[in-house]
Structure 1
């Protein structure tokens, strides 16, 4: 029988402005490198970062819940000028956060 995936709880937010800026820059870089750079990528990164930071300021530290919040709120974003959608953005945010915390994302570890 397989073991359930343990939740990942982030430490409390200490510097929301710095965390938001880092996430927006890192996500924009990822978006531009994953396919082709698009003007809308910066807007997508800013929106996802704002959602993430707002959720953190409201006390949400569970990474899974943060991903769900990004998916839910990014559904209102117009992705018609992009290769991406809300699920790709939320997953990318999760990967960037896990990388920054030193988690090995390979093979479900």
Structure 2
């Protein structure tokens, strides 16, 4: 029987504003590297970071819930000048957060996502 994928949680936020600044810079860099640098990338990163900070200030630590909040709130963003969508942004945020936690085994629910591949 297949085991459900366990939730990944961040440590409680001690400085959500600082986390948001990190996320904004990291996401902006990712956006610029993924296709081409565009002015709208800064706006996308700022908006996603704003949602993230607010969620963290409200006590949200679950990465899945943070991703859903970003998808939901980024639906109102005008992506017409971008190659990206709210789903791509939320997935990128998830990847950045998992990287920051040292989690690299994210594909397809294989094994415990909080442990490294043990060969």
Pair in the same fold by TM > 0.5: yes
**Distance in 1 of aligned mates of 2:77 and 2:45:** 11
> Which residue is equivalent to 1:89?
89
Q: State the distance in 2 between where 1:66 and 1:18 align.
A: 17
The equivalent residue for 1:35 is 35
In the other structure, the counterpart of 2:117 is none
Structure 1 stretch displaced more, 89-98 or 12-21: 12-21
Q: Secondary structure at the match of 1:36?
A: coil
TM-score by length of 1: 0.96
- Point out the structure with the larger helix share: 1
Matches within 5 A, 1:64-83: 64-83=64-83
1:104 Cα deviation (Å)?
A: 1.2
| Structure of greater Rg | 2
1:51-74 C-alpha deviation (Å, 9 max, x unpaired): 001001001111101000000000
After superposition, residues 1-40 of structure 1 pair within 5 angstroms as 1-40=1-40
For the 8 Å contact 1:98–1:105, the answer to whether it is kept is no
> In 2, Cα distance between the equivalents of 1:28 and 1:21?
11
For the aligned residue pairs, the C-alpha RMSD in angstroms reads 1.0
Shift of 1:106: 4.5
**Matched residue of 2:19: which SS?**
helix
TM-score (norm 2): 0.88
